[in-house]
Structure 1
Amino acid sequence: MKSFIVVYLAFVGCIFYYLNQDKALQESMDRGSEIYADFCVTCHLEKGEGVEATFPPLAKSDYLMNNRKESIKGVKYGQRGPMTVNGKKYDNTMMPMGLEDEEVADVMNYIMNSWGNSGAKMVTVEEVSNILK
C-alpha cells in the first residue's frame, strides 16, 4: 500500500509539473507573439516564411531547431554572415533589436513552437542570460 501511495504521489506530481510547464510555455509564447509582431514580422513575415535569398524562414526551419544556442545568440545580439536554412544559403545582417533576456526567451518560445516548428524544451531567461557575445 505504501508503494502505491508513493507511485501515486509521484504520478500526480509529474502531471502537475507537466501542466504547469505547459501553461508557462503558452504564456511565454503569447508574449513572444507580440514581440514578433513588433520586431520580427517586417523581415520574416507574418507566417515566418522569410524572403527568398534575403531573410531566412523561421517556419519549419532546420537551422532554428538544430542550432538553438546560435539562434538565441542571433536574436539577442544580432547576426551577420552566411548561413544555410532548409538547404538554401543566406548572407545578410540582422541588427540587434535591443530586447531584454525575457523578451528574447519569449520570442524564441513563440518561433520555436509556431509554423511547423516544435521546440523540445522551453527557452528560459536563465538560458538566454548565459549566452554571451
Structure 2
Amino acid sequence: MMNTKKLTLLAAFCGIFLASFSFKADQSDALKKSMEAGKTTYNQVCMACHLDKGQGIANVFPPLAESDYLMKDVERNIENLINGLQGEITVNGKKYNQVMPATGLDDADIANVLNYVMNSFGNKAEKMVTKEQVAKVRADLK
C-alpha cells in the first residue's frame, strides 16, 4: 500500500501532466484558428506575389516555403508587414531586390498571416505570433 506522501506526489504529478496536455491543446486550437484566419488574409494580400504554395516567383519574389529568411526573425517579419520592404535580401541563398509595399493590416491580421505562413509550406514555427507581440513591435517603430 502507498503511503500518503507518495500518493500525494503521484496525484500532483498526474495533475501537472494532464494540465500540460490541456494547455497544449488550447494552444494548438488557438494556432489552428489563427492559421485559418491567416490563410484568408494570405489569399487576399500575399498570394499574388508569393503564390498559392508560398513558392514565390523565381528571381522576382522570394519564396515563403521552407524560407530561411522568414523563419529567422519574427520581429523583422512583423516590421516588413507593417512598413513594407525594399532593398536586397537573401532567401535560401538567392538574392531578391523587389519592393514589398506596407500591407495596411491590423495587429491581429499580421499575427494570423504570420502564423499561417510560418506553419505552412514546410515551415514550423517554435512559437505562435500574437497580436500583442505585433502591437509591441508597431509601438517600438514609432
Q: Same fold (TM over 0.5)?
A: yes
Distance 1:21 1:71 in 2: 22
Distance 2:111 2:67 in 1: 18
Structure with greater Cα Rg? 2
Query: Aligned pair 1:48/2:54, yes or no?
Result: yes
Higher normalized strand content (fraction of residues)? 1
Distance 2:123 2:78 in 1: 15
Structure 2 match to 1:78: 84
Unaligned runs of 5+ in 1: none
What amino acid is the match of 2:40? E
Q: Percent identity, please.
A: 41
Query: Aligned pair 1:105/2:77, yes or no?
Result: no
Q: CA deviation at 1:55?
A: 0.8
Distance 1:59 1:10 in 2: 37
Unaligned runs of 5+ in 2: 1-6
1:6-63 superposed Cα distances (whole Å, 9 cap, x missing partner): 1111111101000000000000000000000000000111110111111110000000
Aligned residues: 133
SS at match of 1:93: coil
Query: Aligned pair 1:61/2:61, yes or no?
Result: no
Alignment of 1:13-28 (within 5 A): 13-28=19-34
Higher normalized helix content (fraction of residues)? 2
1:50-79 superposed Cα distances (whole Å, 9 cap, x missing partner): 111111100000000112211121112211
TM-score (norm 1): 0.97
For residue 91 of structure 1, the aligned residue among 94, 97, 101 is 97
